[in-house]
A and B are shown apart, each in its own frame.
Chain A
Amino acid sequence: MTTNLLRRKKDRIDDLAASGGTSLAADAFKRMSRSPIAIIGAVITVLFVLLAILSPFLAPKSPYIPYDELKNNLRPDSIPGPMPGFILGSDQNGYDFFSRLLVGSQQTLIVGVVATLIGVAVGMLIGGLAGAVGGWVDALLMRFTDILLAIPSLLLAISIAALFSHGTQWTVIIAVAVVSVPIFARLLRGAMLAQRSSDHVLAATALGVRRTTIVFRHMLPNSVGPVIVQATLTLATSIIDAAALSFLGLGDSDWTRAEWGLMLGKSQGLLDVKPELAFYPAIAIIIVALGFTLLGESLREALDPKNRR
């Protein structure tokens, strides 16, 4: 008991000694590599990204051509199951279900990443401007983001998507991006305000450093940490929101596109005929969203100074 405690104490001191002279990023990385949750999240994320990039080469068949072997066996009350060459059999239109499932990861990744990037960019512009300028600019921009925040996020995304009569991939991306803008704006503004009253900004001001230099060199780089963490978490919600929009038919109007949300939506009426058609896309969405969430959460924990020893 006592020896155990002593050993733990020693380990901790060794760790402390070893961590001397490392940067914040390296320290965070080290702590993440020790957390099993972070590793699970990272593995899921990496596998998903690899899958999305390689899916055109991995898919055994084309996801956009109906195959006669499948199509000729379609009945109102039965859809062909697994058969040689078609691992998961057919979908309701005679396409290779497995290939569509693989290629669907591409759509999900593109929509999630692009929507998040747009959200981060616009959100940082608004939040940075509000935090750096302050005064009435701050008040105006923040009231605007408050309005966006007041509306439930999925409802807002649906309303925006519904504005477009003829949906494309971009409908989904824009709708999902707009929803995440106020979160990033608030986050960056708050961090910038904290920086504005920090000692090192006061010290820089006492040296006569120009305002623009103070904002871009002293305030902004110290404020982006929480934005990066939030971006990882937003990737997960973006993927879910995008899938939800497609599910509701507010996304891409091209119904043949291989996209998990769309596949899920189209298979609603077929649950009693071939439940796998709904089951696999749903599981895929859940796993990917979980992966990003785990990664984001552990990143947040690793960067949180309160958790540092």
Chain B
Amino acid sequence: MALLEVRDLSVTFKRKGIRPFTAVDRISFDVEPGRTVGLVGESGSGKSVTALAIMGLLPKRGAEAQGSVRFEGTDLLTLSDKQLRDKRGRDLGMVFQDPLSSLNPVIPIGLQITEVLERHRGMSRKQASVEAKDLLGRVGIPDPSRRLSEYPHQLSGGMRQRALIAIALACKPRLLIADEPTTALDVTIQAQILALLQELVRETGTALIMITHDLGVVAGLCDEVNVMYGGRVVERAERHALFAAARHPYTHGLLESIPRLDAPRGEKLLPIKGSVADNIPWEHACAFAPRCPNALDRCREVMPELVPDNGGMLRCHNPVGAMQGVRA
């Protein structure tokens, strides 16, 4: 049995006076212990909402999650607020995008780590400070005993993200969700943080859900990749399969739009045409059809199903590498 089984998870935002909006539409995926699963897609594809739904952090009013999120057999969506609070931080950890705003500006870093240790591992303040120092050292923060008494604004961006990772891993959670953990950092620091995450995950056997729009991150870290578009998974593949032969035109487009050092001089980047605003609803079509270079007439009439393909899963009528001639 997988550590986390997400089945037909849908999240709908409802407010009086406006049409309900389904941000995540019946997505399913598994996460095995010790594996890293990527959720990839552009802004608005439903990645972060999926993460919040798993953590039970969606706003209580206005958002509705359906389906099931089974963590070690218990459905997280059915747990009470109190039961969820006991699980969060202890079994489920999360690292957020912006390290500065995710830390409390008015209390020292040390207290923000010990607070979790005291809460979930029942440590005394003293034991917790020793452990906190150890944790900061392990995520590569130099001079950890001095840093414990410092405030977030006294740390550099990379160090803040390291501290956040230390906090998230303080109770050795079995599942860690990283929501674009490197977006707010510069490139050299990004690489360090990713290496750190990879190392910690391997050491502790933690399962990791990596949410990103950066395919470079995926290439370096993820075992399995779910490409999301318009709230649905459009392609799922092992990392190597995905980079060797992306099947979905959207994934293909994402790969094409990455600048490459080995490309011939003067070659232009190929962006994906249009924007998420061009989406059409999934009900009777493929949401990506208006932007898709491979779109057939059928793509605007019949919704493609997610079907097994090449060892992965694919939701497309006319994948890349198929006979282009069937265009009719």
The interface bits of chain A over 184-216 (1 if a CB of B lies within 8 angstroms of the residue's CB, else 0) are 000000000000001110111111111001000
Besides A24-B153, A206-B89, A208-B85, 14 more A-B contacts (Cβ < 8 Å) are A199-B96, A199-B102, A200-B103, A200-B105, A203-B94, A203-B96, A203-B103, A203-B164, A206-B94, A206-B96, A208-B87, A209-B89, A217-B104, A222-B105
Taking a contact as CB atoms closer than 8 A, the residue among B88, B101, B105, B115 that contacts A205 in the complex is: B88
Q: Are B101 and A207 in contact (CB under 8 A)?
A: no
Which residues of A have CB within 8 Å of B94? 203, 206-207
The interface on chain A, measured as residues whose beta carbon lies within 8 A of the other chain's beta carbons, has a size of 20
8 A-B pairs with the lowest CB-CB distances in the bound complex, closest first: A208-B89, A208-B88, A207-B89, A199-B101, A203-B102, A206-B94, A221-B106, A200-B104
Chain B hits for A21, CB < 8 A: 154
How many angstroms from the CA of A206 to the CA of B55 in the assembled complex?
Answer: 7
Chain B residue numbers with a CB within 8 Å of A199 are: 96, 98, 101-102
Question: What chain A residues lie within 8 Å of B151 (beta carbons)?
Answer: 23
Whether A274 is near chain B, meaning CB under 8 Å from some CB there, is no
**B120: interface (CB < 8 Å):** yes
Q: Can you sample 21 A-B contacts with CB below 8 Å?
A: A198-B101, A199-B98, A199-B101, A200-B103, A202-B57, A203-B96, A206-B55, A206-B89, A206-B93, A206-B94, A207-B115, A207-B168, A208-B85, A208-B116, A208-B119, A210-B119, A213-B115, A213-B119, A217-B104, A217-B111, A221-B106
A204-B106 Cα distance, complex, nearest whole Å:
14
Interchain CA distance A207-B103 in the complex, whole Å: 12
The answer on a CB contact under 8 Å between B104 and A218 is yes
Interface residues in chain B, defined as those with a beta carbon under 8 Å from any beta carbon in chain A: 55, 57, 84-90, 93-94, 96, 98, 101-107, 111, 115-116, 119-120, 151, 153-154, 164, 167-168
CB within 8 Å of B: which residues of A?
A: 21, 23-24, 198-200, 202-210, 213, 217-218, 221-222
Please indicate the chain B residues that have their CB under 8 angstroms from the CB of A213 in the complex: 115, 119
Contact B85 A210 (CB under 8 A): yes
Complexed CA–CA distance, A206 and B98 (Å):
14
Cα separation A21 to B147 with both chains bound (whole Å): 13
Q: Is the CB of A217 within 8 A of B116?
A: no
Instruction: Give the distance to chain A from B216, nearest Cβ to Cβ, in Å.
Output: 25
Q: Are B116 and A207 interface neighbours, CB within 8 A?
A: yes
| Bound form: Cα–Cα A257–B116 in Å | 57
In the complex, which residues of chain B have a beta carbon less than 8 angstroms from the beta carbon of A203? 94, 96, 102-103, 164
How long is the Cα–Cα vector from A199 to B100 in the complex, in angstroms? 9
B120 cross-chain contacts in A, Cβ below 8 A = 208
Q: Closest residue of chain B to A206, judged by CB? A: B94
Q: Shortest Cβ distance from B54 into chain A, in angstroms?
A: 11
Give Cα A221–Cα B106 distance, bound, in whole angstroms.
7
With known contacts A21-B154, A198-B101, A217–B119 Cβ distance under 8 A: no
**Assembled-state Cα–Cα distance A23/B154 (Å):** 8
Are the CB atoms of A207 and B104 closer together than 8 Å? no
Set of chain A residues within 8 Å of B90, measured between Cβ atoms: 208
Are A217 and B115 in touch, CB under 8 angstroms? yes
B124 to chain A, nearest CB (A): 16
Which of A198, A202, A208, A209 has the most B CB atoms < 10 Å from its CB?
A208
Smallest distance from the beta carbon of A305 to chain B beta carbons, Å?
Answer: 11
Contacts of B87 in A (CB 8 A): 208
Select A200's contact among B88, B102, B116, beta carbons within 8 Å. Answer: B102
Shortest C-beta distance, A277 to chain B (Å), equals 50
